[in-house]
Amino acid sequence: MKTYYFDYNSTTPVMDDVQNVILDTMKKFYGNPSNLHKMGREAREILENSRKNVADLIGAGSNEIYFTASGTEANNLALKGLIPFYKKGKNHIITSISEHSSVFETAQFLKKEGIELTVLDVDSQGCIDPEELKNSIKSNTGLISIMTANNETGVIQDIAVISKIARSRGILFHTDAVQAAGKIPINVNDPQVDLLSLSAHKLYGPKGVGALYVRRGISVAPVQHGGGQEHNIRSGTENIPDIAGFGEACRISMQNYENDSKHIMHLKNLLYTGIGDKIKCFKLNGSIATTLPNTLNISFPGCESDTLILDLDSAGFYVSAGSACNSSRRTTSRVLKAMKLKPAEMYSSIRFSLGRDSKEKEVMLLVNTLSEIVGQFV
């Protein structure tokens, strides 16, 4: 049976060119980059070239990029690495209800450790209110952490406005750009951000490697200790093959951005229009205009999201739920709940996420198959 992948927000396939770079690095450049001999120097050169490619993707300097094992680790390092800063009196963090769990749960952990925490709500479109952000700022506010784009809904926050607010009050600003990188333009200098998290496997690179951007002059304490790699911020021998793949994925993303964006946005509009033409009862969560070019989160009231996912899976289409459900227990999506969706809408939500390899024919096949499945229930 032929299969069709519509779950690029969960993870992307590793591109052939990226695979080749990883395998070539594994075979030829297996030296430890901390060593002074030739093999170590060769590995170090690959490490630094890859660092530059990642930095170029977001307009950063190479010496502002620190490699991690994931976007989750990068988010943890961004928030926990500022603990010495919080202890100097700036011990209040502001974040939002719609953050990825690696930010939301880390913030909750810090709250238990005595850090003050304000969690902003979002409106029905999934956006924070800048006025609420302003009103939440205190004299001891040290950090604002708001994601660039949501992984479930694709909703894009107004980072420029948030950055302006943070700058005007002398507050550090971190953004989780894991889902946004490669899909929309990102430049850490316009609007200015102080810390930013990335992950390779969201932009056609390998799993198991991420990065944290830290603006020059900002001090981040390590959360793990050892040999002092990554300029003492993240100890552990660097995963050179996957870091090389990450760098190559970033280079290709910059090279292909314009064509990818047009292609994927066209398919997103085609999918949304097709669903509107074929299915009477549905609800878009977020808006077409303010979501990522590749993402649609749609509820089909009267249907169960887990049933839809399994029925689509049986037909060869891979999608995921906006709310995490399983056979033994339903877990309400924190994001969709905050957007004031009704229970019937939350438990029938599906996230469709497109990618570089998606095709028009596949989109239309999905629309027709989805219409048949939904028609059995409503």
Structure tokens at 104: 């939301």
Distance CA 186, CA 60 (A): 10
**The pLDDT value given to residue 326:** 37
* Helix (H), strand (E) at residue 70: none
The predicted-structure confidence for 254-268, as pLDDT tens digits, reads as follows: 999 999 999 999 999
Asked if 104 contacts 145 with a C-beta cutoff of 8 angstroms, the reply is no
The predicted-structure confidence for 305-356, as pLDDT tens digits, reads as follows: 999 999 999 999 999 996 443 333 457 899 999 999 999 999 999 999 999 9
Distance CA 7, CA 262 (A): 19
Whole-angstrom CA distances from 109 to 88, 210, 276, 363 are 19, 22, 42, 41
pTM listed for this prediction? 0.96
pLDDT at residue 75 above 60?
yes
Q: Which domains does the chain have, with CATH numbers?
A: 4-12+256-375 (3.90.1150.10), 16-252 (3.40.640.10)
Distance CA 199, CA 220 (A): 19
If you compute the radius of gyration of the chain from its CA atoms, what whole number of angstroms results?
21
- Label residue 157 by pLDDT band (50, 70, 90): very high
Distance CA 159, CA 149 (A): 9
Whole-angstrom CA distances from 224 to 15, 106, 227, 329 are 31, 15, 10, 35
Strand partners, 172: 143
Mean pLDDT of 197-225: 97
Mean pLDDT of 209-221: 97
**The pLDDT value given to residue 377:** 83
pLDDT at residue 282 above 80?
yes
Structure tokens at 21: 């770079």
Lowest mean pLDDT among 82-96, 172-186, 189-203, 328-342: 328-342
Distance CA 359, CA 375 (A): 24
Task: Name the nearest CA neighbour of 96 among 73, 114, 66, 118.
Answer: 118
* Helix (H), strand (E) at residue 361: helix 360-375
**The pLDDT value given to residue 330:** 55
**The pLDDT value given to residue 38:** 95
Mean pLDDT of 141-170: 98
Classify residue 88 as exposed, middle or buried by CB count within 10 Å of its CB (0-12, 13-18, 19+): exposed
Crossing angle between the packed helical segments 101-112 and 71-80, to the nearest 10 degrees:
30
Structure tokens at 300: 């089909």
Amino acid code (one letter) for 5: Y
**DSSP assignment of 190-250:** TTB-SEEEEEGGGTTS-SS-EEEEE-TT-----SS-SS-TTTTTS-S---HHHHHHHHHHH
Reduce the DSSP state of residue 267 to 3 states and report it.
Answer: helix
Asked if 223 contacts 69 with a C-beta cutoff of 8 angstroms, the reply is no
Distance CA 325, CA 283 (A): 19
Alpha carbon 61 to chain centroid, angstroms: 21
Structure tokens at 331: 């877990």
Mean pLDDT of 92-118: 98
**The pLDDT value given to residue 378:** 76
Q: Which residues are catalytic?
A: 325
Distance CA 361, CA 31 (A): 46
Mean pLDDT estimate for the chain:
96
**The pLDDT value given to residue 322:** 61
Mean pLDDT of 353-376: 97
Reduce the DSSP state of residue 118 to 3 states and report it.
Answer: strand
DSSP H helical ranges for 38-175: 38-57, 71-80, 83-86, 101-112, 130-136, 159-168
- Label residue 57 by pLDDT band (50, 70, 90): very high
Distance CA 26, CA 345 (A): 47
Distance CA 292, CA 355 (A): 11
